[in-house]
Amino acid sequence: MGEIADSLIDGEFDYITGEYIGPGCGYPRTRIVQRKSENLSWKKVTDYLERSGFKKHRHPELVKLFGVPYSGGSPLRNACFSILKDFDRFKKFVNRLKELEDESKAN
């Protein structure tokens, strides 16, 4: 591909208007419309789960167990946005689950 095409793909240029936006971020972007997927605040939930010792394959199970709706095109992301509304309660929930799992492994 050409240099301009690579810059569009990397997000250096607006993919709708062609204007320079700034240094690339690794994906195409625009200033006209903010896509939902650009809001990465939901990753705070999955990052916390990983730091707490829960592997990625368990994240959907834990989110469902917490009781938030798990549906839509990106169910994990949607559930994480719901969790962010009461993140402190979720952290307590995760910590308690971890304690229970550690106790059951010790016995």
Tell me, yes or no, whether 76 and 30 share the same domain. no
Q: How many CB atoms are located within 10 Å of the residue 14 CB? A: 16
Tell me, yes or no, whether 56 and 5 share the same domain. no
Q: Which residue has the higher pLDDT, 38 or 68?
A: 68
Confidence of residue 1 (pLDDT cuts 50, 70, 90): low
The whole-number pLDDT of residue 8 equals 78
The whole-number pLDDT of residue 36 equals 52
Tell me, yes or no, whether 67 and 84 share the same domain. yes
Range of the domain at 14: 1-35
Tell me, yes or no, whether 24 and 62 share the same domain. no
The beta-carbon contacts of 95-100 under 8 Å, at least 24 apart in sequence, are 95/52, 97/62, 97/65, 98/52, 98/53, 98/54
Of 18-22, 35-39, 66-70, 71-75, give the range with the top mean pLDDT. 66-70
Tell me, yes or no, whether 31 and 45 share the same domain. no
Give yes or no for residue 38 having a pLDDT over 60.
no
> What is the number of structural domains in the chain?
2
If you average pLDDT over every residue of the chain, what do you get? 86
Tell me, yes or no, whether 57 and 16 share the same domain. no
Q: Which residue has the higher pLDDT, 54 or 21?
A: 54
